[in-house]
Amino acid sequence: MGTDRLRVVQDTNVVEKLITRGISQEKIIEFTSLLLSLAEWVEVPAETIQAITSDPDDDPILACATVGKANYLVSYDPHLTSLGGSYQDVTITEALPFLWALRGKQSP
């Protein structure tokens, strides 16, 4: 795993949220390593980032999803979920509906 990729994960709120929930350091390292091994690294040129949401911090997330041709963007962020469920062919959803779609099931 590249150190740049590890730094990106460490700089996000992911690790902080896992720590807050009492997840052990060993499990956090295991999870982030798995996440990085499954993820596709996407380079997003600065000029492709457009002001879309009311929160400028979310615009690079959308750019990454569109440049990387993601099928889904899973988020509870209201600035992203308020975009009406999709943006440029990327479905924006919360975790449970994503899992239902992934499993090919309807919501209970």
51-91 pLDDT per residue, tens: 888 888 888 888 989 998 999 988 888 888 888 889 999 99
φ, ψ (nearest 5 deg) of residue 79? -70, -30
Please name the helix (run of DSSP H) or strand (run of DSSP E) that holds residue 93, with its range, or none. Answer: strand 90-93
7-51 residue pLDDT tens? 555 456 677 888 888 989 898 888 888 877 887 888 888 887 888
Domain boundaries, the chain: 1-41, 49-108
- The pLDDT assigned to 8 comes to 52
- pTM equals 0.68
- The pLDDT assigned to 42 comes to 83
Asked if residue 32 lies in contact with residue 9, where contact means CB atoms within 8 angstroms, the answer is yes
Asked if residue 85 lies in contact with residue 63, where contact means CB atoms within 8 angstroms, the answer is no
Three-state secondary-structure class, residue 50: coil
